[in-house]
Amino acid sequence: MSLAEQIREMCAGFNGRIGLAATNLQTNETVGFLADEIFPTASVIKLPVLLTLMQQVEDGEYSLDDPLMLRRADYVAGSGLLQHLSPGLTMPIRDWAFLMMSISDNLATNVLIDHVGLDEVNDWLDEHDYPDIRLHRKINFNLLKTDQKLLGTSTPAALTRMITAVYQQTHVSSAACTEMMRMMNKVSADRVGRYLPFEPYGSDVPDSEILRLAGKTGSLAGMRAQTAVIYRGMPNENRGFALTVMNEGNSEPERWQPDAPGVLIIGRLAKTLYDAWMA
C-alpha cells in the first residue's frame, strides 16, 4: 500500500472531519487529505501571531527585550499559567512570546495580539500569500463554544507551508526563525511525537542524529490540531518532514485526556510519515 493510500485509509477511519498536509523536506514529496479545506485552528493560530511579532521587531518597531506588564483586565481562561499570577508582573516581550508558544498561554496570546495588532497579523498573512489563514479575534471561549472557527481558520496545506518556512529560515531572518524554533521546541510531543523514537536524555547519539520536533498545537472540544516539523541535523540539510493535521467534530465526550481520539490520530499519522520518509 502506498503512503498516500495509508494516509487516506487512516483519515477515512477517523470519527470526525480530518485534514492533513505533509511535505518531505528532502525530496519535496507531498501527501495530503482534505489538505486545502478550511478547519478551525484553535491555538495553532498563535504561529502567525508570532511571525508578525518577529516581523515588527525586524522592522525596528520595538525589541524582544522591551517590557510588557500583566494587567488585571487581560485575564482569560484556558491553557497557561499567567492567569494565576499577580497583575503588575512585567516581563520582556520575548518571554510573553515563549509562554504563548511553549505552553500555549492564552493570556499571553491576547496580550500579544493587542501588542502587534489583529489587523496587522492578517496584513502580514496577505503580504506573504497566506489567504487561507485568518486570525478572526482574540481568544474568547464564550464565542468559541458557539463556533470553533471564531478564533482562527486555516487549511492544513497553508500551515505546513508556514512551519516549513520557519524551519527553512525564510519570511524573516535566520536569527528570528531560530528563536521561533526554540519557542516551539518539543511542543506537545505527546501528539506528533508520541510514537516516534526520540533518544532518551543523556543518550550518546551524535547531536547531528538526534531526532527533534518543533511545532504548535491547538485544542477545543472534539477538535485537535498540530503543525510541526520533525527533523535531524541543521535546517539547510532538510533531513525531515513538515506536517499539519487538523481534525474536528469527534463525537466522543470530551475528557481532555492525552489519549483523546484527535490526539491519537495525529500521532499515528506522524509515525506513518516517519516510517516512510525517515526510518
Higher pLDDT, 52 or 188: 52
The grid cell for 116 is 502587534
Contact between 272 and 7 under an 8 Å Cβ cutoff? The reply is: yes
Residue 16 carries which side chain, given as an amino acid letter? G
Neighbours of 71 (CB within 10 A): 13
CA–CA separation, 126 and 124 (whole Å):
5
Given a cut of 90, whether residue 80 has pLDDT beyond it is: no
Strand partners, 223: 220
Given a cut of 90, whether residue 87 has pLDDT beyond it is: no
CA–CA separation, 51 and 274 (whole Å):
27
Q: What is the pLDDT of residue 203?
A: 85
Distances (CA, A) of 157 to 31, 34, 130, 247: 10, 9, 10, 14
What would the pLDDT profile of 10-32 be if each residue is shown by its tens digit? 999 999 999 999 999 999 999 99
The grid cell for 69 is 506588564
pLDDT over 70 for what percent of the chain?
99
Number of independent structural domains in the chain: 1
Contact between 46 and 100 under an 8 Å Cβ cutoff? The reply is: yes
Domain region containing 123? 3-277
Q: Which of 208, 193, 173 is nearest to 243 (CA)?
A: 193
What would the pLDDT profile of 99-155 be if each residue is shown by its tens digit? 999 999 999 999 999 999 999 999 999 999 999 999 999 999 999 999 999 999 999
- The pTM assigned to this predicted structure is 0.95
What is the CATH number for 13?
3.40.710.10
Strand partners, 21: 32, 244
Q: What is the pLDDT of residue 8?
A: 97
What would the pLDDT profile of 191-219 be if each residue is shown by its tens digit? 999 999 998 877 888 989 999 999 999 99
The terminus-to-terminus CA distance of the chain in angstroms comes to: 17
Lowest mean pLDDT among 74-88, 152-166, 206-220, 231-245: 74-88
CA–CA separation, 202 and 232 (whole Å):
17
Angle between helices 261-277 and 3-12 (to 10 degrees): 170
Q: Which of 275, 111, 97, 131 is nearest to 195 (CA)?
A: 275
Strand partners, 218: 225
Q: What is the pLDDT of residue 103?
A: 95
